[in-house]
Amino acid sequence: MYLLGEQSAYADTLINRLQGLPGQWLQNLPSCGAVLELEATDDLLAQLPGDQLFLLTEGIVHGCIAGRALLYWQEGDLIGLQRGEQWNDCRLYTEGVLRLLPYRRVEVLQYLYAEPERAEQLLNYLLGQMALLAHAVAELKPREFRSTNGFKRVEAGAVLIQQGDAADHVFVIIDGHAEAFVDGHKVGDVRKDEIFGAMALFTGEPRNATVVTREPSTVMLIPGDQFLSMTRSNPKIAHNLIVGMARRIGQLNRQITQLTTSRS
């Protein structure tokens, strides 16, 4: 199994180590039938018996996960391990002729586990493929920014945001509680795990409120450019931000209603 696209030195080394191992294991194990020859197909596994494994002797098999072309197998690889509920979202296909040498799955496993050395090689082969998948995920997933974020422990009464200041960070209360004030009047509470300070970041305007901790708190500071990138790549962050803003707008509306009622 190999990853599409340019590989890192780590992935290349791992691929070279895995290449050809199945062929070495199966040299002394009789196949359960003649070489199977297949034309191009969009769903390879649907054409193969579920109780067999296949040594790929000619051709290339492509793999899609969640509809995205990600993997391929070539001569010397073992086909048929990718079955079961864990692989429901994986589709194997080929664009050309394939030749596959069949083996009974049970016989292959019995043969490999008959000797500790072969069993260890199989385990290392499977772990190597898991490592390649993890490497693919790491390459495809947007880089996390938490490693460069600052965590700060503050006492009660600490000013986290000052009204009128320029916006260069957003904040998350990891532990504790804070309150928001506009012109000295309390306009809301900032709860644990809530993102705050983003409005001025989006608008480019000065901070429109002051935020002060009500109790000793731990706060995470996220640089503005990194936060904006995170909202583009992670819809959940954007959703949580919208929910928080909607809650604050609701608080302000209630306060306006109360003020209007008290003056009438």
169: alpha, beta or left? (left if phi > 0; alpha if psi -120 to 50) = beta
Query: How many other CB atoms sit within 10 Å of the CB of residue 7?
Result: 17
Looking at residue 149, its pLDDT comes to: 54
DSSP letter (8 states) at residue 166: P
Residues 130-173 have pLDDT tens digits of 787 777 666 655 444 443 457 888 899 999 999 999 888 888 88
Q: What is the arithmetic mean of pLDDT over 90-113?
A: 91
Confidence of residue 203 (pLDDT cuts 50, 70, 90): confident
Q: What is the rounded CA–CA span in Å between residue 188 and residue 252?
A: 8
**CATH architecture under which domain 2-140 falls:** Sandwich (2.60)
- Provide the whole-model pTM: 0.51
Percent of the chain residues topping a pLDDT of 70: 77
Amino acid 211: pLDDT: 92
Mean of per-residue pLDDT scores for the chain: 79
* CA–CA gap between residue 17 and residue 128 (Å, rounded): 9
Homologous superfamily (CATH) of 146-263 is: Jelly Rolls (2.60.120.10)
Closest by CA to 237, choosing from 253, 226, 250, 252, is: 226
Between helix 224-233 and helix 235-263 the angle, nearest 10°, is 110
Ramachandran bin of 62, using left for φ above 0, alpha for ψ from -120 to 50, beta for the remaining angles: beta
Whether the pLDDT of residue 83 is over 60: the answer is yes
Residues above pLDDT 90, as percent of the chain: 18
Q: Would you say the C-alpha torsion 15, 136, 126, 66 has a positive or negative sign?
A: negative
| pLDDT tens track for 233-256 | 556 655 565 556 556 555 555 655
Long-range contacts of 38-44 (CB under 8 A, 24+ apart): 38/94, 38/97, 38/98, 38/99, 38/100, 39/97, 40/93, 40/94, 40/95, 40/96, 40/97, 41/93, 41/94, 42/91, 42/93, 43/91, 43/92, 43/93, 44/79, 44/92, 44/93, 44/94, 44/98
- Domain(s) labelled CATH 2.60.120.10 in the chain stretch across 2-140, 146-263
Contacts of 252 (CB under 8 A, 6+ apart): 187, 188
Counts for the chain of helices (H) and strands (E), in that order: 7, 16
Q: pLDDT tens digits, residue range 109-124? A: 999 899 888 888 888 8
Segment 87-100 mean pLDDT = 87
pLDDT for the residue numbered 148 = 45
Q: How far apart are CA 217 and CA 173, in angstroms?
A: 7
pLDDT score of 23 more than 70:
yes
